[in-house]
Structure 1
């Protein structure tokens, strides 16, 4: 399992240039080429977004991960720092994808590239490709079938403690059934609402681990697996990172999220407006 940490710009400035440290810039390509932290390598986060969690879609994701991580020169034991413009969801999506692919040490640049006050460059670094072999970490990804099984189990024994807790990281309006990015409104039956506002402090940095742990305690028990979904996996990925930082290592992302669940009649929906 991966180790998740936060890296400050000051820490990065002290450790930049170390051989096993790889900095990934997840901003749009135009922003990267306009100026990035020296040594940063660029990746497009949408490569790791999927609309379905069936076998063929996961196989395609694995192929994209293998190609991308090889091209970026990443090994399983690399120390990878991921930075977006700020602490936006796309940086977390990439961090989650790295962990799912088997990378063992991952840090988020807290505050993102905008918090960096040092030199910037328009020159891309020379990268030696690796032959990265994806080792899927099943604990970090939940499929629609897994979510469905958890919903059905909870329906059969509503009073029993859930082994899997489904968490909705969308907006309150989406959770309440007043708005949707997919064909149907509502939520996964039994899903608990997670207020993503607790993830960041007033300064835009991640909230302290103790604060995140207190928020998580109200939503998911320590022994439960927390499966997080949103509209398309990005917000769920940042909630996943927040839970990891809070010490809840049994967290997973349902990456296709409502884009899959909300568009298929196969999956039940609690459509009551609340």
Structure 2
């Protein structure tokens, strides 16, 4: 059997259904929900999942255990071990989905890209689209998988820290896009995390992640290009931010689909920036 190549960073139901049993394919459920939703992604994965899907827990397990910030990217050692425990090899093609349509799956997509794995894609429409199409499901305790061999190679171009963001905000060669709602960006709405200031970074622009989606699917490429054209020049480097580094990855995925190449996610995002007493914050549009 030929080696499996992903057609793009976004795959549809037909493609996944046609390749679901390919030995080079690994399907991951990366469902995560805001605490206020009172939903447990892993529990729901046990109840129903795409056949063979393994749970990718970036909130509790595959994260930096030493950071006080939520679900920060782990180091190469922890990521390599975690991927191998999920039966992933470096030659595997990975399709990630979530139970919201497109919400948290791009975070896992970005994590693999940041760890040097390029053969990774997001399922457009996620589990809701799979259910609507009446495609087969699996329930209960999953079958054990053989351990894989995965070596992560951290790609710093995909990752930004607070110092890099602060410098980028003063550099015309960069654009910082904030995926939070316009109300949170302006400071009209309080931040849901205690002790985190409302507002935004001076010089950042707002692009709410929901404007890139339509009914749980990514907007078509021409729409994404149009959305980004007024905010980001083709030769500018992009840094994506949000509340805690999850929905920023939706903007990163959209920009990647639209043809932008130099894209990073600010992992600490507003949880770090707004929670700092020294980093500059402004309010209003």
TM-score scaled by length of structure 2: 0.84
Number of residue-to-residue matches in the alignment: 261
SS of the aligned residue for 2:10 comes to strand
CA spacing shift, 1:87–1:48, aligned 2, 3 Å = farther
After superposition, give the CA deviation of every residue in 1:15-68 in whole Å (9 maximum; x if it has no partner).
1111111100123111111122211111113145669989xx978443331222
Of 264, 281, 284, 1:273 maps to 284
Q: Distance in 2 between matches of 1:97 and 1:209?
A: 22
Aligned to 1:76: 90
CA spacing shift, 1:226–1:193, aligned 2, 3 Å = same
Structure 2 counterparts to residues 120-139 of structure 1, below 5 A: 120-122=137-139, 123-139=141-157
The structure with the largest helix share of the pair is 1
1:264 and 2:276 correspond: yes
CA spacing shift, 1:227–1:106, aligned 2, 3 Å = same
Of 45, 63, 66, 1:32 maps to 45
Aligned to 2:264: 252
CA spacing shift, 1:138–1:242, aligned 2, 3 Å = same
Aligned to 2:36: none
Please, which runs of 5 or more residues in structure 2 have no aligned partner?
A: 1-5, 32-40
Q: Distance in 2 between matches of 1:213 and 1:60?
A: 32
Q: For the aligned residues, what is the CA RMSD?
A: 2.4
Structure 2 counterparts to residues 41-120 of structure 1, below 5 A: 41-46=54-59, 47-48=61-62, 60-116=74-130, 117-120=134-137
SS of the aligned residue for 2:122 comes to strand
Structure 1 residue 273 displacement after superposition: 3.0
1:167 and 2:184 correspond: no
Structure 1 residue 232 displacement after superposition: 0.4
Please, which runs of 5 or more residues in structure 1 have no aligned partner?
A: 155-161
| Contact persistence 1:4–1:241 (CA under 8 A) | no
Q: Distance in 2 between matches of 1:26 and 1:150?
A: 30
1:243 and 2:255 correspond: yes
Of 166, 179, 197, 1:148 maps to 166
1:185 and 2:198 correspond: yes
Q: Distance in 2 between matches of 1:191 and 1:88?
A: 24
Q: Distance in 1 between matches of 2:233 and 2:152?
A: 31
Aligned to 1:223: 235
SS of the aligned residue for 1:45 comes to coil
Q: Distance in 1 between matches of 2:97 and 2:174?
A: 30
Q: Distance in 2 between matches of 1:242 and 1:189?
A: 23
Q: Distance in 2 between matches of 1:105 and 1:244?
A: 14
